[in-house]
Amino acid sequence: MQPILLASSSTYRRELLARLGLPFKCASPDIDESPLAHENADDLVKRLALAKAKALAAEHPSHLIIGSDQVAVLGDQIIGKPHTYERACEQLRSASGSQVIFKTGLCLLNTSTGQSQVAVEDFKVEFRELSDDQIHHYLTYEQPYDCAGSFKCEGLGIALFSKLNGDDPNTLIGLPLIRLVDMLKKEGVDPLLLAR
């Protein structure tokens, strides 16, 4: 089996990939994640997922490299990681009572062949009506400043929502495992046969 590399420093993605029982290593790609002018959310996450994988290709020949990127979309606005309490408050106030679509770009790059598979997975979230007190308490408790949309759904963040709608709940955390398994199988890697 070709070695697998996760092109990410995200602990969330690392924990998700570990569920497949395949050996892998992680490395952090150094890329500019700024959106291009007039770039829509789908094109942005596809481009960044591929760029993250390609950024590590030269150092990791003969690897299968997994790149992933996620943004949240509210109306026609792309929402990234807040990084600060103030921006997280703004994001959650805007999301209150609304639907937010999380778009996760996924890339599997085979550095032996140069072939890549790239996809975008959507996951829709309906937010409850949130008071400023609820937002403040949530942000103080969980501090999700490194998460697109300002929440961690695997923690208390689940209480922010009234409804979830998508094919793979892992997509919401940042790594669509169902789609990734499909991609890995096309490269001859079947977790159901190779997990250890």
Which residues are known to be catalytic?
69
CB atoms within 10 A of CB 127: 20
